[in-house]
Amino acid sequence: MPAPGLVAVRFSQRNGGSGRGEAADRLDLTLSLIAWTVHRMHEDHGPAFGEAVRRLASAIADSADGTIPEGILRAQGRGGPSMEVQFTEWPSSRGGTRVRINLEKSAVGPVGVLKSPPKSPQVLGLAALVAGAWDARQEDAHGRLALALAMEGLLAWYREAHRMTPPRQAVEAARTHAMDRLEAAGRSLPPALG
């Protein structure tokens, strides 16, 4: 977040990523950021963040070209007014707030590991929403539907499970939810769920 109201996303696959492909890695990183936000956020803030995720998932599913309507991504500074968030190019300087998450290989599969979490869970939540909106821009309509369904699955997981369960479990449940929903509708699985 190079400046108030501006956000940038940079994605790179180091060491070949998870081996499942770029789309799958982007999905896991987005879902991991959302799960880490829920995991770190005070439970009083959970319903508002959940509603923000629902709005974004709906906008992603409805988007014809991956763009998100104005008003979906908003940020609010301490005591300041809420403002629209706009994408910009990745800054060359080190200023602003940066959130870094890596997808690490493990015995249970890829795991999203926060490398430089912000002090505020609200900033982490904004980063998660921004990652979802950015990921939607990279996908075709079928991939966007899978992303939206996985976000829905993540919310469903946290309605049933304690928010302090490991984020990796929530990500896996979200992926399974999206696959089940697509298969039930007779749809093929996009690369993100492969």
Encode pLDDT of 138-150 as tens digits.
999 999 999 999 9
pLDDT tier at 2 (50, 70, 90 boundaries)? very low
In total, how many domains does the chain have?
Answer: 1
Q: Are 18 and 28 in contact (CB under 8 A)?
A: yes
C-alpha 50/C-alpha 111 separation (Å) is: 22
> How far is C-alpha 33 from the geometric centre of its chain's CA atoms?
5
Residue range 146-165: mean pLDDT, rounded? 89
> How far is C-alpha 133 from the geometric centre of its chain's CA atoms?
8
Residue 67 belongs to some domain of the structure: yes
**Which token pair is 95?**
């200023």
Residue 190 belongs to some domain of the structure: no
pLDDT at 189: 95
C-alpha 131/C-alpha 48 separation (Å) is: 18
Give residue-wise pLDDT tens across range 21-38: 889 999 999 999 999 998
Residue 21 belongs to some domain of the structure: yes
C-alpha 118/C-alpha 33 separation (Å) is: 12
Residue 189 belongs to some domain of the structure: no
Residue 44 belongs to some domain of the structure: yes
- Give me the amino acid identity at 129: L
Task: Pick 177 or 90 by higher pLDDT.
Answer: 177
Residue 105 belongs to some domain of the structure: yes
Residue 51 belongs to some domain of the structure: yes
Residue 103 host element (H or E): strand 100-104
Residue 191 belongs to some domain of the structure: no
Burial label, 12 (beta-carbon count in 10 A; 0-12, 13-18, 19+):
exposed
Other Cβ atoms within 10 Å of 165 Cβ, number: 16
Question: Mapping DSSP to helix (H, G, I), strand (E, B) and coil, where does residue 73 land?
Answer: coil
Residue 161 host element (H or E): none
Alpha helices in 112-163 (DSSP H): 121-138, 141-160
Task: Pick 151 or 68 by higher pLDDT.
Answer: 151
Q: Angle of helix 46-62 relative to helix 121-138, nearest 10 degrees?
A: 10
**Could you identify the residue written with the tokens 């629209």?**
84
> Is the confidence at residue 107, as pLDDT, over 80?
yes
Residue range 77-100: mean pLDDT, rounded? 68
Give residue-wise pLDDT tens across range 53-79: 999 999 999 999 988 887 787 765 556
User: Mean pLDDT of all residues in the chain?
Assistant: 84
Residue 23 host element (H or E): helix 22-40
Task: Please state, in angstroms and as integers, the Cα–Cα distance from residue 155 to each residue in 83, 150, 161, following that order.
Answer: 25, 9, 10
Domain that holds residue 134: 6-182
